[in-house]
Structure 1
Amino acid sequence: MIVHATLVALRLHGLWRGALLTGPSGAGKSDLALRALAEGFSLVADDRVSLWASNGRVYGAAPPTLAGLIEVRGLGIQRVTPLAFAQITLSVPLTDTIDRMPDEATETLLDVALPTRPLWPFEPAAPLKLRRALESLGAGR
């Protein structure tokens, strides 16, 4: 299954943990991914993500034609060193409306329930919040 999304991953406790950034075109997926790369994340896929499930876990990778590429608005398509694939442990819908104290929520993807935390991608702390969300919600799953 291929979805319109961006996948970034962070190495936590010796394992790569992925955050699937979702939203419509122009929502800030690539922008947040670019800033997350500067904070120690790795890019798995930008714009399109190939998903599959195995043993109750969801994984993602870039389609071969997009591997190692990220769109940098205003500069065009740029090359980065990609991570081949990652387990997706967190779903991150991008929005400009964020609850101060959100309830625990999940999203079902390929019959697997994933924790979800919406983020506003353009706030300066968004990459740090993404890291915190992975550390607190995604690392143990």
Structure 2
Amino acid sequence: MTASRLRIDGVAVAIGEEAVLLRGKPGSGRSDLALRLIDEGARLISDEQVELERRGDSVFAMVPALMPQHLIGRIEARGLGIVPVPHVSVALPLSWVFDMMPWPEIERMPAAEQADYLGVAVPVLKLDPFGPSAAAKLRLAVKCGPNLIMGRS
């Protein structure tokens, strides 16, 4: 990897023409939430491993260069196995990072947080991936952007 690239653990999904990164330990609900988003029209970028690349003042998410071809466009669905899903094969700008957390650990009105990837700050929100409104909250955050969410400007 060059200094302008980084491979990390997580699941990346495309919402429109933006990438979101779902972070958390295995079993934390990353793939479960990604599957619900995909079922509602999102597309998979990469499952389990995501490659980030700095381009100017932005970070882009993509399938890792070393990803085996037979795993591209596939996601692990616990209880089913590794299954094909709608996906994108182009790099997309990373607009949000979502940390998978149990709801009791999430503040009602969280302070702004950021993750630094390759010298670029990306906004972070904590999200209970198993909550009934998790996919709606994620989509709303993407639609609003960090500047329209109170307390984050």
Structure-1-length-normalised TM-score: 0.90
Residue 85 of structure 2: aligned partner: 80
Deviates more, 1:78-87 or 1:45-54: 78-87
2:25 is the counterpart of 1:24: yes
- Cα deviation 1:39-72 (Å, max 9, x = unaligned): 2211111111011111111111123323101000
Residue in 2 that maps onto 1:37: 38
Residue by residue over 1:9-47, the C-alpha shift from the partner in whole angstroms, topping out at 9 and shown as x without a partner, is 111xxxx11110001111111000000112221111111
Which of 4, 7, 14 does residue 12 from structure 2 map onto?
Answer: 7
Query: C-alpha separation between the residues in 1 aligned to 2:147 and 2:36?
Result: 21
How far off its partner does 1:81 sit? 2.6
Q: Unmatched 5+ residue regions in structure 2? A: 1-5, 149-153
**Structure label with greater radius of gyration:** 2
Name which of 136, 142, 146 aligns with 1:128.
136
Change (3 A) 1:38 1:138: farther
Q: 1:115·1:137 contact (CA, 8 Å) conserved in 2?
A: no
- Residue type of the alignment partner of 2:31: S
Runs of 4+ aligned structure 1 residues displaced above 4 Å come to none
The 1:60–1:26 alpha-carbon spacing in structure 2 relative to 1, beyond 3 Å, is same
Gaps of 5+ in 1: none
In structure 1, the residue corresponding to 2:140 is in which secondary structure? Answer: helix
With normalisation by structure 2, the TM-score equals 0.84
Q: Deviations over 1:108-138 (max 9, x none)?
A: 1111001111101011111111101111126
Match in the other structure for 1:70: 75
Aligned residues: 136
Q: Percent identity?
A: 35
Report the 3-state secondary structure (helix = DSSP H, G, I; strand = E; otherwise coil) of the residue aligned with 1:32: helix
